[in-house]
């Protein structure tokens, strides 16, 4: 169990905090566009990946198949499985950038 928790934390913390959110160089309606990449660095597939994102908003449309807001949480890939080593990328436009924290996921395929 500890190995799975470590795997989940590695997935989200490393990828969101170190390389996951970068300026795209574009502006949308006067707001900076940010590109976010989440990569599953775990050896297991993960599903129902939920990020804490209170107050998250964007002037740019975000494909709800990739990320959608549900209260103070954001759901990746509609809760579908993100295979090991797979990535998902989305962009949003707002100032300042939002910091998203991992809340939960379900480890599968291990």
Which tens digit of pLDDT belongs to each residue from 28-59? Answer: 999 999 999 888 888 889 999 999 999 999 99
* 6 belongs to a structural domain: no
* 96 belongs to a structural domain: yes
* 14 belongs to a structural domain: no
* 15 belongs to a structural domain: no
CA gap 56, 34 in Å, rounded:
13
* 43 belongs to a structural domain: yes
Which pTM was predicted?
0.80
> Residues 61-98: pLDDT tens digits?
999 999 999 999 999 999 999 998 898 999 999 999 98
Q: Which domain range does residue 79 map to? A: 22-109
CA gap 86, 4 in Å, rounded:
17
Q: How far is CA 30 from the centre of its chain?
A: 23
Report whether 48 contacts 100 (CB < 8 A).
Answer: no
Instruction: List the Cα angle 26/30/34 in 5-degree steps.
Output: 40
* 4 belongs to a structural domain: no
Structural domains of the chain, count: 1
* 2 belongs to a structural domain: no
* 17 belongs to a structural domain: no
74: how many CB neighbours lie within 10 A of its CB?
22
């Amino acid at each position: 169990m500890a190995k799975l928790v470590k795997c989940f934390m590695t997935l989200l913390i490393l990828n969101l905090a170190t390389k996951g959110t970068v300026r795209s160089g574009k502006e949308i309606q006067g707001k900076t566009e940010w590109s976010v990449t989440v990569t599953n660095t775990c050896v297991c597939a993960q599903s129902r990946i939920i990020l804490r994102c209170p107050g998250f908003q964007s002037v740019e449309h975000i494909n709800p198949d990739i990320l959608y807001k549900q209260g103070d949480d954001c759901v990746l890939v509609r809760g579908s499985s993100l295979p090991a080593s797979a990535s998902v990328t989305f962009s949003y436009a707002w100032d300042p950038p939002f910091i998203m924290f991992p809340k939960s996921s379900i480890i599968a395929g291990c």
